[in-house]
């Protein structure tokens, strides 16, 4: 993933694509911040799975910003956030279709012998470990919650 970021950064510089360039730099900064935090606590630098989680978090933050900007009638800022989301998504694997998410949630609930809402964390942790970056965990959380009721 890191090599992919570096190569994309070079391409953005050559193309003079300012939005893409700044977004890739933000991604690299977030990864470096996590690396430093891991080093301070004696852990290894982040791997691709953890980078996927960072990207998911960055997208979620931008989606929240889009909603806030639209509510405040700042459409130009909302559009900038959407452009950043599009750049970040280019580094992520394709998201699973909703039917597949539901099926995987069902199988994890059965596999972990989840009995009620108190087991929801166990199910979500299993899903996050197995499918980082490929599944919308907000939607998956709703599916798991519905299955455990």
What the chain holds in terms of domains, given with CATH numbers, is 2-89 (1.10.1510.10), 98-148 (1.10.10.410)
pTM here? 0.73
Average pLDDT over residues 16-28: 95
With bands split at pLDDT 50, 70 and 90, how would you rate the model's confidence at 148? confident
Q: Cα torsion at 118, 119, 124, 126 (round to 10°)?
A: 160
The whole-angstrom separation of Cα 16 and Cα 112 is: 50
Cβ distance 25 to 10 under 8 Å? no
Are the beta carbons of 127 and 108 closer than 8 angstroms?
Answer: yes
Q: Which of the four pLDDT bands, split at 50, 70 and 90, describes residue 21?
A: very high
The torsion angles phi and psi of 96, rounded to 5 degrees, stand at -70, 145
Question: Per this entry, what is the length of the chain?
Answer: 149
């Amino acid at each position: 993933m890191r090599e992919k970021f570096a190569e994309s950064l070079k391409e953005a510089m050559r193309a003079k694509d300012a939005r893409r360039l700044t977004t890739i730099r933000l991604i690299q900064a977030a990864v470096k911040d996590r690396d430093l935090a891991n080093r301070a606590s004696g852990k290894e630098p982040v791997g691709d799975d953890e980078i996927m989680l960072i990207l998911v978090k960055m997208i979620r933050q931008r989606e929240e910003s889009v909603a806030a900007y639209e509510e405040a009638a700042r459409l130009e800022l909302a559009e900038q956030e959407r452009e950043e989301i599009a750049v970040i998504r280019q580094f992520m694997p394709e998201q699973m279709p909703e039917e597949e998410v539901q099926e995987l949630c069902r199988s994890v609930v059965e596999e972990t012998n989840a009995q009620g809402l108190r087991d929801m964390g166990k199910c979500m942790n299993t899903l996050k470990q197995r499918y980082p970056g490929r599944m919308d965990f907000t939607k998956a959380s709703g599916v798991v919650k519905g299955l455990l009721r």
